[in-house]
Amino acid sequence: MKVIRAKSAGFCWGVERAIHIAREEAQGGKRTVYTDGPLIHNKQMMKALSKEDVREVGDYQSNREIELPKKEDDKESVVVVRAHGISPERRDYLKGLGLPFRDGTCPDVGIIAGKVKSHAERGFDVVIFGDPQHPEVIGLIGYAQGRGHVVNSEQDVDNLPKFEGAVAMVSQSTMFTHEFKKLISKLSKSYPDLVVFDTICGATKERQSDLVDLVKEGAEAIVVIGGKHSANTCKLAKLAASYDRPAFHVETVEDLNASELDRFSVVGVTAGASTPEFIIRSVCEKLESL
């Protein structure tokens, strides 16, 4: 089997930065690092980091109060904010735990939060295109000062309240560009002066573009590697299916079904922004052996 790997498969720079911060704070296991929910959406990488005493506490959506486990050693501890970011209220709460604090929020997400905050302060209602249950969006809503509204479909746009003043629109960083444009077009019919910020990150756009290239290069099927909860990975699997190609979303090489895949002679491989290289490499090697 011929395997074509997407150029952009693997960690984006925001994920690399968050992992670097956690490892830097852990000092090779000399200190305990607590992350509020998963640092990144990949349980295999989180398991690998646990060997350096990076521990996930809290929950996926950063809603629960944190009960730090009782320690049997005198190691120092530190709290690290995950790549998806958190709300201002959650930030204050984490700082109130009394431990050293490091922010691992992806700078691209930080830019979105800044736009939401600044426009809400100026009286704008802010419409956010994204998944209302995703931790990035939950964090962004926290900066909207009660003026934030999440939409994920044209019906959601129809159900928005009537805005009296100015309106701004941003996107969760991992959404589809063509879907964002569709909702912009619909919302701008009601609000011609709609202020739009294209906040879909470059890494997401690159992954989506590279997947299209896999199809153009002759991939008969697409294998998408990444966590089942990873928004950008799920989007890649959905995009692959839209090009009338069988799409297989796997977390690890163990999820590959040889009997389903060995009928293809050319397979494209891509991976989400939180997927480590060792998993991508093992999947590619397995496919090449079929």
Q: Point out the residues that are catalytic.
A: 136
Rounded to an integer, what distance in angstroms lies between the CA atom of residue 149 and that of residue 120? 11
User: Quick one: which of 83, 116, 99 has its CA closest to 12?
Assistant: 83
Dist. CA 78–CA 87, nearest whole Å: 19
- Alpha-carbon distance 268 to 287, whole Å? 10
Q: What Å distances lie between residue 247 and 78, 216, 288, CA to CA?
A: 40, 15, 17
* Cβ within 8 Å of residue 187, ≥6 positions away: 127, 157, 160, 167, 169, 194
CB 39 within 8 A of CB 19: yes
